[in-house]
Amino acid sequence: AELRATVRSALAALPARERAAVVARVLEGAAYAEVAEILDCTDENARQIVSRGLRRLRATLAPHLEAHR
């Protein structure tokens, strides 16, 4: 439950476009083309935004994940 709250908080802290991209791609299983359509950008740009968001999430969550091992 604590980890779930931490993940929610980390997602909420992402910039809006990164949050939308990560949620669509990872949580909803959208293809990059769908993410691009949602964000009104190219597929390549969608990939970059997802990647940047995931990098931020990993950096934020890394200390918490280590504590749960």
How many CB atoms within 10 Å of residue 69?
A: 4
Exposed / middle / buried, residue 5 (Cβ in 10 Å: 0-12, 13-18, 19+): exposed
Read off the pTM: 0.89
Between 7-11, 47-51, 65-69, the lowest mean confidence (pLDDT) is in 65-69
pLDDT digits (tens, 9 = 90+) for 9-49: 999 999 999 999 999 999 999 999 999 999 999 999 999 99
**The token pair that represents 55 in the structure block:** 């990098």
Burial 16-31 (b: 16+ CB within 10 A, else e): ebbbbbbbbbeeeebe
Give me the pLDDT at residue 2, please. Answer: 86
